[in-house]
């Protein structure tokens, strides 16, 4: 006899992390290529002497820092082990069996997984022909069972972003008891003034008495702390409260908390890096367009090449050139913007791709 586990998990696809191949350039996981700032490494090293103690489960000091910085009361914040964990907590906190979570597809790979694991049902609404969220179709897909909608802005893996007017028109159609979650993992790379700051947008809704808008942010991308696992939700107190209820005690570790605070101290320096990545993004996309590739306009630290059936061949071709990209078989390839020489290696591979 073997142990009885949940039969439904057999059909669940596993999360596919970007591959790491020794000696190859990794442009597969939307990480920032530059290593951690010396000031952040120093803060982590100092905090290492205290790791015999449990972390502050409430992340009190970091919460106070974020509260001040974002201009929201502390009861509007919930920390998590990366925003992917907060995605899972949000589903756990809003859904039981037969409840529905709505999201665009293709979008962040973790949405289907966390929804399924929590026992909820997923409703996927295809992106439109421009690889952008089809918000009209998403609004039309809301049912009495819908509890939550993920809106990934900019969208992973396409990089496409929604404007303030589009998001506002969508939220106006969503029943007030359905939570709209703006996942802003790539917010710091946005340079188009028409794309909203989700926290500012959410504040206006809260002021109007609408408690169904929340925002996810992470320290993994622009802040360069992917390996430490820390992110946060900015949400109305009713939502932040239930997020804390489903939080696994002590899961955000002490080094992550200290590193996040040191990163907030070094924000200017980190944003200079982001602006350099944005400049590279413009250059890389421009060169790809000139080579004849279709590349949707991107507001994130990656580009999307909707290669369809050519995706696998392109992926293998890049690997042969020692560049690891992220292939979504049959759909397209996502390529992270790295340092200029890394991007040049990728561009050289893309230029040499003929099939
Ligand atoms: C990378 C990413 C996240 C979060 O990553 P964490 O490392 O878990 O904070 C969340 N949402 C999207 C869309 C992402 O691409």
Kindly report, residue by residue over 11-23, the tens digit of the pLDDT: 888 877 777 888 8
Least confident of 17-26, 134-143, 148-157, 317-326: 17-26
- Measured from the Cα of 152, ligand 1's closest atom is 13
From the CA of 185, how far away is ligand 1's center (Å)? 5
Residues with CB under 6 Å of ligand 1 are: 30, 82-84, 108, 152, 156, 183, 185, 218, 220-221, 226, 231
**Res. 355: pLDDT tops 80:** no
- Give pLDDT, residue 177: 97
Q: Is the peptide bond prior to 106 cis by the omega test (within 30 degrees of 0)? A: yes
The kind and range of the H/E element at 336 are strand 332-336
From the CA of 327, how far away is ligand 1's center (Å)? 17
**Cα gap 340→343, rounded to integer Å:** 5
Q: Which of 17, 28, 82, 256 to mutate to test the pocket of ligand 1 (most atoms within 8 A of CB)?
A: 82
256-286 confidence digits (pLDDT tens): 999 999 999 999 999 999 999 999 999 999 9
- Measured from the Cα of 230, ligand 1's closest atom is 9
The model's pTM is 0.97
199-216 confidence digits (pLDDT tens): 999 999 999 999 999 999
Residue 336: strand pairing partners: 302
From the CA of 86, how far away is ligand 1's center (Å)? 10
Q: What is the mean pLDDT of the chain?
A: 96
Which residues fall within 8 angstroms of residue 53, CB to CB, at 6 or more apart? 254
**Res. 90: pLDDT tops 90:** yes
Nearest CA to ligand 1 atom 6: 82
- Measured from the Cα of 108, ligand 1's closest atom is 13
221-254 confidence digits (pLDDT tens): 999 999 999 999 999 999 999 999 999 999 999 9
**Cα gap 152→217, rounded to integer Å:** 11
- Give pLDDT, residue 95: 97
- Measured from the Cα of 219, ligand 1's closest atom is 9
Closest to 30 measured CA to CA, from 186, 188, 184, 155: 186
């Amino acid at each position: 006899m073997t142990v009885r586990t949940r039969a439904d998990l057999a059909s669940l696809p596993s999360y596919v992390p970007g591959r790491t191949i020794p000696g190859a350039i990794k442009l597969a996981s939307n990480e920032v290529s530059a290593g951690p700032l010396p000031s952040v490494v120093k803060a982590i090293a100092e905090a290492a002497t205290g790791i015999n103690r449990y972390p502050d489960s409430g992340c009190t000091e970091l919460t106070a820092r974020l509260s001040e910085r974002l201009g929201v009361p502390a009861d509007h914040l919930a920390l998590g082990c990366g925003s992917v964990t907060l995605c899972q907590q949000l589903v756990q906190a809003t859904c039981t069996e037969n409840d529905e979570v709505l999201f665009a597809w293709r979008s962040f790979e973790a949405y289907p997984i966390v929804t399924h694991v929590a026992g909820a049902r997923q409703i996927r609404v295809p992106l439109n022909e421009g690889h952008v969220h089809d918000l009209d179709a998403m609004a039309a897909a809301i049912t009495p069972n819908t509890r939550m909608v993920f809106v990934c802005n900019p969208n992973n893996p396409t990089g496409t972003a929604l404007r303030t007017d589009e998001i506002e028109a969508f939220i106006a159609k969503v029943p007030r008891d359905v939570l709209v979650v703006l996942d802003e993992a790539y917010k710091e790379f946005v340079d188009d003034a028409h794309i909203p700051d989700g926290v500012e947008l959410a504040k206006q809704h809260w002021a109007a008495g609408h408690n169904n808008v929340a925002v996810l942010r992470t320290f993994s991308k622009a802040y360069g702390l992917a390996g430490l696992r820390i992110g946060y939700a900015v949400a109305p107190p009713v939502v932040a409260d239930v997020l804390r209820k489903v939080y696994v005690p002590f899961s955000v570790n002490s080094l992550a908390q200290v590193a996040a605070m040191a990163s907030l101290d070094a924000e200017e320096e980190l944003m200079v890096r982001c602006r350099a990545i944005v400049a590279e993004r413009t250059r890389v996309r421009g060169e790809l367009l000139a080579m004849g590739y279709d590349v949707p306009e991107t507001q994130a630290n990656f580009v999307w090449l909707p290669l369809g059936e050519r995706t696998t061949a392109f992926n293998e071709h890049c690997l042969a050139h020692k560049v690891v990209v992220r292939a979504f078989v049959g759909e397209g390839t996502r390529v992270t913007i790295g340092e200029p020489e890394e991007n040049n290696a990728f561009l050289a591979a893309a230029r040499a791709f003929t099939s």
